[in-house]
């Protein structure tokens, strides 16, 4: 009975083991976080902020911010989203396009938050891969919804479940970030999240348009 109870976990591990790009992204984030710890120990908070935090002044943070995290809990939250939705997206998108999208969504997230600072929104700077991770959520939800609208029989029930869950996650994040008086998680980067999510929706719509063009 114990072996039967462990079957879903084994299946999940086997499924994740086939998602090489997703595992590579997670490994990259972990390596960068370890590098953050080294920089903090050697150069303190000021050195860490200069290397990893993106603000309005040019710094290495413009490059490093989309792959950096302020704490282990921040990192683990991001990884939990990437494990699920990164793996799902990798099942729909070829590896090169998937990785390129992830990187571009990360920088779209950072740029969107920096634009908010230019507009006078207060903040010391931005970092984190949560915008890119949320981009994976909206990309999967968008492509699955459009696929279901085109041909419901071509979309698996489990994909529908995760797409709906992705919609709920997106709604909760937007509520937290933009509805006054409702805060589930403090200290987020609202425009950064929105930039990553918008990238996912736009890329999902573009892929659907390309697929429609090829069919005609």
Each domain of the chain, given as residue ranges in start order, spans 2-215
Q: What is the pLDDT of residue 1?
A: 47
Is a pLDDT exceeding 50 seen at residue 182? yes
Inter-CA distances, 108 with 103, 125, 130, 202, Å: 9, 15, 12, 12
Residue 8, pLDDT score:
77
Instruction: Please tell me the least confidently modeled range out of 80-84, 94-98, 212-216.
Output: 212-216
Query: What's the pLDDT at 216?
Result: 63
Q: What would the mean pLDDT of 37-59 be, rounded to a whole number?
A: 96
127-151 pLDDT, tens digit per residue, is 999 999 999 999 999 999 999 999 9
3-state secondary structure of 14: helix
Please give the model's pTM, rounded to 2 decimal places: 0.92
Count of Cβ atoms closer than 10 Å to residue 103 Cβ: 14
Q: What is the pLDDT of residue 135?
A: 98
Query: Where does residue 66 rank: exposed (0-12), middle (13-18), buried (19+ CB within 10 A)?
Result: buried
Whether the Cβ atoms of residue 195 and residue 113 lie closer than 8 Å to each other: yes
The pLDDT value recorded for residue 121 is 82
Match domain 2-215 to its CATH number in 2.60.40.10, 1.20.1540.10, 3.40.50.720, 1.10.10.10: 1.20.1540.10
**Whether the predicted pLDDT of 3 surpasses 80:** no
């Amino acid at each position: 009975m114990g072996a039967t109870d462990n079957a879903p976990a084994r299946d999940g591990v086997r499924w994740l083991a086939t998602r090489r790009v997703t595992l590579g992204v997670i490994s990259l984030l972990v390596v960068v976080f370890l590098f953050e710890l080294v920089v903090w120990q050697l150069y303190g908070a000021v050195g860490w902020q200069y290397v990893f935090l993106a603000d309005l002044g040019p710094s290495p943070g413009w490059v490093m911010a989309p792959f950096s995290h302020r704490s282990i809990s921040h990192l683990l939250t991001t990884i939990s989203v990437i494990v699920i939705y990164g793996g799902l997206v990798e099942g729909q998108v070829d590896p090169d396009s998937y990785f390129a999208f992830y990187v571009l969504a990360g920088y779209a997230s950072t740029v969107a938050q920096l634009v908010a600072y230019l507009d006078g929104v207060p903040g010391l700077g931005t970092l984190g891969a949560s915008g890119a991770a949320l981009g994976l959520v909206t990309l999967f939800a968008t492509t699955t919804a459009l696929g279901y609208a085109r041909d419901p029989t071509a979309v698996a029930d489990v994909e529908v479940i995760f797409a709906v869950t992705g919609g709920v996650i997106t709604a909760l994040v937007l509520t937290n970030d933009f509805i006054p008086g409702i805060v589930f998680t403090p200290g987020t980067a609202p425009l950064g999240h929105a930039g990553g999510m918008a990238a996912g929706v736009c890329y999902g719509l573009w892929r659907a348009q390309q697929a429609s063009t090829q069919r005609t």
